[in-house]
Structure 1
């Protein structure tokens, strides 16, 4: 079995961060979302990966390399435009050959990995196997309809009137039969080749499509709210670590990770939180569910439930929460004082904030 990892797309819901960064490389708990997916694929015993990349291919390739760091062998496949998930399968046709494969969306996060579904697919070998989860607003997702016995009888992409609350999770397993389905597709109303249409084609052809309804945690990390929630979840699962320097008057409470080269001076850190290598926290408060990446400077400030990317500085600002701050950002005081600041800042930004 091979894997097809989708790491293209423009990441419009994470603007302005994704003007300068690939959405799959935005970190949670100081590790890119994409890396969690690669680790899950490797843990499931899959070793060969075709990675579909787009305009951010150089950044993705620099981060992942040949895949050896993950125990994988990665082949990059260029998709000239984000024309749908089924289009990515079309792009990868020659690479996939006649192998079964798991398709994994690189900006998805699934607690518990994919070992179970890969094992079931390998054992039972239906034509396709999909993962489903119940969601509050299925209109934002591909939606599955099941019959009384739990068999998949229909799929629809982002329906205005959903037939169920079961959304497709970004992991699919296919036999080579999917290639015939993809070859028959026409672009949808969105101008894309939809993988839901391809699976529907298999169903209408009388082929077996199985599903697993997962009860664990899944997020499509395509927007700031979901990124912050995944960051919180991952931080809560990490073990405390003290590899940096903490002075005697600072206070660390709960699950806190301080990486090598980081320094905590006259500050209070309440976990779960991670302070990246080389970062310096001085006269500040870092609250729960916060990830501070490498080489950041936080002085005389308060921040919680936020993600700060590398080499950014926050100086004399009270108070920041629920924020995603890009690389090389400078946040400094301005004349007036709002009680709370909510920020989504692109790389190399310079912002003045009242304090």
Structure 2
């Protein structure tokens, strides 16, 4: 979400507010999301949502409504009314799952402006907000979708557009997709369109709202760009996104330090004989002992990596411990879990909070 602008200018965002949907349970990121909602997981030193909000503020959007559900109180406890960010934040709790469009409709009574930018709260994006809103207004669209081109669109629903960028269809996942551009999870709606979504029941934005708008003759516009984009819904993507933020490959206004190979937070102890690289984040009060190598990983507060251990492309929860000479590659270690000396965790292995794997030299490739 670029704070800069090429062409449309800062004035393009006058009369714009934002909705950020943060109600998901983040099941694909368990066990990390057992203790915190996905948008509140530490990501490059701060809760992921901080990166989203700070870039909205930098782009000139100050009124934001958060659509919450799972552990809803955590958001208000951390961000309050938004004054510390120079914003006005409001919270609307989703009492039962309403799907994407239903969640957007659920916050309609808090909206004030004619144009509303909507974000999925687990997307790390570099979309130029000024350009997105300019596209929306230039074409007098009812709704505008941020679209990105991907190498393998078979994993997504495709969104074809005509020569003028107008959306022509919404296609389900297929083995032979006709286009390589997909829905990036960021939209601009005219507020009356939001108010027309049926209230009080689950509504899918892709399967019901957008196809219904097309059928009615409404103008749906696509805004395609080549900006950074990543869905942080899986552990591998979460680790990659955090590392990209630390190294400056992904945009953020909230990084606690200058971009570099590592972000080491307050009171962390990193031995001069340890290696910390690849955009790793070492949380507050962590300990990295001599001979340890941490690469492209995210360590929450108080994690401990003992001597000669290797941690690659992994997440260590708060207070987790990796024993001497152990190897963790592509793993997710829950809060307070202990990996015994000489153990090896292979890609995809998850260790649940509080579990202790004894020193053994055994390889684990499954949940523990």
Instruction: Quote the residue 1:55 is aligned against.
Output: 70
Task: Report deviation, 1:237.
Answer: 1.4
CA distance in 2, matches of 1:310, 1:107: 21
Give the secondary structure class of the aligned counterpart of 2:96.
coil
CA distance in 2, matches of 1:282, 1:288: 14
Which structure carries more strand by proportion? Answer: 1
RMSD, aligned α-carbons: 2.9
Deviations 1:112-143 (A, max 9, x none): 55343134435654211111112344454343
CA distance in 1, matches of 2:133, 2:353: 38
CA distance in 2, matches of 1:303, 1:205: 53
Aligned mate of 2:203, from 193, 197, 210 = 193
Task: Report deviation, 1:75.
Answer: 0.9
- Cα pair distance change 1:240/1:83, threshold 3 Å: closer
Count, aligned residues: 337
Which residues of structure 1 form unaligned runs of 5+? 243-253
Give the secondary structure class of the aligned counterpart of 1:131.
strand
Instruction: Quote the residue 1:9 is aligned against.
Output: 24
Deviations 1:219-242 (A, max 9, x none): 111111211221232222189969
Which residues of structure 2 form unaligned runs of 5+? 1-15, 250-254, 362-368
Is residue 144 of structure 1 aligned with residue 159 of structure 2? Answer: yes
Aligned mate of 2:190, from 150, 156, 175 = 175
Instruction: Quote the residue 2:333 is aligned against.
Output: 325
- Cα pair distance change 1:113/1:148, threshold 3 Å: closer
Per mean C-alpha deviation after superposition, the further-off stretch among 258-267 and 168-177 is: 258-267
Aligned mate of 2:119, from 104, 122, 129 = 104
Say if 2:326 and 2:340, in contact at 8 Å, map to a contact too.
Answer: no
Aligned mate of 2:262, from 227, 231, 256 = 256
Is residue 302 of structure 1 aligned with residue 313 of structure 2? Answer: no
Give the secondary structure class of the aligned counterpart of 1:35.
helix
Instruction: Quote the residue 1:276 is aligned against.
Output: 283
Give the secondary structure class of the aligned counterpart of 1:3.
strand
TM-score w.r.t. the length of structure 2 is 0.81
Aligned mate of 1:70, from 72, 77, 85 = 85
Is residue 350 of structure 1 aligned with residue 356 of structure 2? Answer: yes
Instruction: Quote the residue 2:95 is aligned against.
Output: 80
Task: Report deviation, 1:3.
Answer: 0.9
Aligned mate of 1:312, from 286, 311, 320 = 320
Instruction: Quote the residue 1:267 is aligned against.
Output: 273
CA distance in 2, matches of 1:342, 1:175: 42
CA distance in 2, matches of 1:205, 1:241: 49
TM-score w.r.t. the length of structure 1 is 0.83
Aligned mate of 1:219, from 230, 235, 239 = 230
Task: Report deviation, 1:332.
Answer: 2.0
CA distance in 2, matches of 1:62, 1:349: 29
- Cα pair distance change 1:34/1:69, threshold 3 Å: same
